[in-house]
Chain A
Amino acid sequence: AQKVTQAQTEISVVEKEDVTLDCVYETRDTTYYLFWYKQPPSGELVFLIRRNSFDEQNEISGRYSWNFQKSTSSFNFTITASQVVDSAVYFCALSNSGYALNFGKGTSLLVTP
């Protein structure tokens, strides 16, 4: 069975702080894919990143970075110098080669000025 755990339900930071959103996953598959999606207050779901199980390289995109560690089954997401526009619910999700995305319950991030 596949499972994604986002232990942080809500995080509140002040603008310009760095913040890390944790994601721990469980799977028996050797081939799998990890995703992060953002859901801003407007409600839509926005794809941020995909990482496959054979690629443990970290990735940086502007203020966003992702740290994938198979040894700890984690795929953490860091926002550097957070901004008010980063306020959203962030979902980590896991997929094997099949049909379903297994979502975590999400972490609600509030960035205040």
Chain B
Amino acid sequence: NAGVTQTPKFQVLKTGQSMTLQCAQDMNHEYMSWYRQDPGMGLRLIHYSVGAGITDQGEVPNGYNVSRSTTEDFPLRLLSAAPSQTSVYFCASSRGTGAYEQYFGPGTRLTVT
């Protein structure tokens, strides 16, 4: 099992550019989510999905888009990158919500100049 994989590992964007962060899991988990980690802020939920075709917003969704066409994949799209989106992005998956531990990917470090 590869677990949760994320690509790319590092990315530099210019303000206004768009891009997609990829996330995939091979554990057949229904629940997937995206977090961002900023210094001194912990991790904050951006978007989540409870199954294919179902997504919803988390705490900090502005500027990001998601879709879930398969159980395995949950890409995160930055529509028009801004310096405030400079962060480390983590994708996570779990068997369900609440009680289940989330398995995190290795993260994508994004810098927007």
Binding site for B on A (CB under 8 A): 4, 9, 31, 33, 35, 37, 43-45, 47, 50, 52, 91, 95-101, 103-106
Residues from chain A with a CB closer than 8 A to the CB of B97 are: 95, 97-99
The 8 Å CB contact of A99, one of B56, B103, B106, is: B56
The 8 Å CB contact of B98, one of A44, A91, A95, A106, is: A95
The smallest beta-carbon distance between A2 and chain B, in angstroms, is 11
13 A–B pairs (Cβ distance < 8 Å), ordered by A: A33-B99, A37-B104, A44-B106, A45-B43, A47-B102, A91-B42, A95-B98, A95-B99, A97-B98, A99-B48, A100-B48, A100-B58, A106-B42
Main secondary structure of the interface of A (DSSP, over half): loop
Residues from chain A with a CB closer than 8 A to the CB of B103 are: 47
Main secondary structure of the interface of B (DSSP, over half): strand
Residue B53, interface by CB 8 Å: no
The smallest beta-carbon distance between B39 and chain A, in angstroms, is 9
CB-based nearest B residue for A46: B104
